[in-house]
Structure 1
C-alpha cells in the first residue's frame, strides 16, 4: 500500500513538471483575420437637363420643280426645271434636352440654314429671233430655312469617354426662296420667291466625347429632308408661274458642345466604401 501511494505521488509530480514544458513546445494557434467586407455602390443614375450649341457645313440637293406657263393660244402649259443645283453653306443652331438615363435622351433643336445659292435651267419657246423659237433659260435664286425638330437619341455606350449614338427627329421648316431671276433670249424676268412652313424629318449618327465632367464635344452627321412647297410666284411680264419645288434634302457635318446640368456620365464613379477592419482579440 505504501508503494502504491508513493507511485501515485511520483506520477503527480511528473505531470506537474512535464505539462508546462510540453505546452511551451507546442505552437500557438494562428487566428486569421477575415477580409473586410466591400460594400458596392449601386450603379449611378445619370440624367437631367442639358443645353447644346452646334455649327455645321451642309450641302443641299434640289429635288426638282414644276411651274405653269400661260399663253394666249392655250390656257396653260405645265413645265419642269431641266436642271437644278444648290451650293453648300453653313448653319448654326441651339437646343435644350433631357437625359432620361444613360442610354436615352431627347431634345428640341432650332437650326438656321444660311443662304444656299441655286442655279438651274428650263427649256421652252422664245419670240427672239422669231416667234415660237425653241430656247433655254438660265434661272438663279437662293434659299434659306429655319429647321425646328423634336429629336430622340440612343446612346449606345461609353468607352474611354467616347459615346456613339444614333437618333431621329421630326418637325417643320420655314423655307424662304429669294427672287428667281430668269434670263433667256427674250430678256430678264423676275419672280418673287415663295416662303412658308413645310414638314421635315431628320436622321443622325455621331459620337460625343467628355471634355469635362459636365461638357461634351458632339460631332456627327445629320440627314434632313424638307417637303416641297412654293418656290416662286407668277410674273405677268413672262406669263410664267407659280412654281413649286419638290423638296430639298440636306446633308450636314455637325460639331458642337453639350452642357449637362444633371448627373453626367463624364463624372468619375465614386470609390467603393471599404470599412475599417475590426480588431481581433486573442487570449
Structure 2
C-alpha cells in the first residue's frame, strides 16, 4: 500500500511541475529555408524555317576570256529548312541547319540564271531578352553567324546559253532578327545574308561561266520547339 501511495505522489508531482518547466523553456524562432537557385538551365530544340530570297552577283566571267555583261537584275526565290540546336540559358545558342534553296531571274539582259540547291550551316547566336534574363520569355532579339557549304545546280536560258551544270561553294552567313518566346515555342522573323564566293556550271570549254561574289538575302520566319 505504501508503494502505491508513493507512486501516486510522484505522478502528481510530475503533473504539477510540468507546466512550470515548460514555461521556463526558451522559445525558438521559426527558421525559413531559402529556395535553392540553380541558375538558368539550357534545352535542346528543333527548328523549321521558310524564307523569301533575293540573289545578286558582282561579276560575270566566261572561259572565253570575256568579262561579260554584269548582272542587271536580281533573282528572286525561296528557301525552306530545318535544324537541331541547343541553347545554354545564358543567351548563347548553337544549331545546325539544312535548307533547300531555289532562285530564278538573275540576268545580264541576255542570259538568265535558274539556281537550286542545298545549304548546310553550323550557326551560333546570342539572344537578347527585352524582359530581363535570356529565358524570361516575351519579346527579344538575336544576332548570329554561320559557316558551311552549298551544293547547287545551274540552268541558264537566253541567247547562246551555256550548258547546265552543278558545283559546290563555301558559305558564310550573318543573321539578325526579333523573336517572341512563348515558353515551349519561340517564333522569330529575321534577316539572313549568305555569301558564296563563286557560282559556276563547272563545264569545260567555251560554255563555262562564273559568277563571282554572290550574295543571297533572305527574310525568314522560324519556329523553334524546346524539349523541356
TM bin, normalised by shorter chain, reads: 0.7 to 0.9
Aligned position for 1:181: 157
Over 3 Å off, 4+ runs = 33-38, 231-235
Give the TM-score taking structure 2 as reference length.
0.76
Partners of 1:82 and 1:226 in 2: how far apart? 17
Deviation at 1:216, TM superposition (A): 0.9
Give structure 1 stretches of 5+ with no counterpart. Answer: 1-32, 70-76, 122-137, 184-188, 263-283
Change (3 A) 1:157 1:117: same
Measured against aligned partners, the alpha-carbon deviations of 1:126-179 in whole angstroms (never above 9, x if no partner) come to: xxxxxxxxxxxx11231123111000011123516122111100000112111x
What's the C-alpha RMSD, in Å, of the aligned pairs? Answer: 2.4
Counterparts of 1:123-138 in structure 2, within 5 Å, are 138=110
Mapping of residues 74-223 of structure 1, within 5 Å: 77-121=65-109, 138-159=110-131, 161-178=138-155, 180-183=156-159, 189-211=160-182, 213-223=183-193
Measure how far apart 1:219 and its partner are.
1.5
Which structure would you say has the larger Rg?
1
State the TM-score, normalized to the length of structure 1: 0.63
Q: For 2:202 and 2:209, how far apart are their aligned partners in 1?
A: 5
The answer for the alignment partner of 1:254 in structure 2 is 220
Report if the CA contact (8 A) 2:56-2:106 is conserved: no
Bigger Cα displacement from structure 2, 43-52 vs 142-151: 43-52
Matched, 1:226 2:196: yes
CA distance in 2, matches of 1:167, 1:118: 27
- 1:35 Cα offset (Å): 8.2
Deviations 1:45-97, CA, capped at 9 Å, x for gaps? 3212100001111111122210133xxxxxxx433224343322121110000
Taking the aligned partners of 1:78 and 1:100, their CA distance within structure 2 comes to: 51
Structure 2 unaligned spans of 5+: 1-27, 132-136
Q: CA deviation at 1:195?
A: 1.2
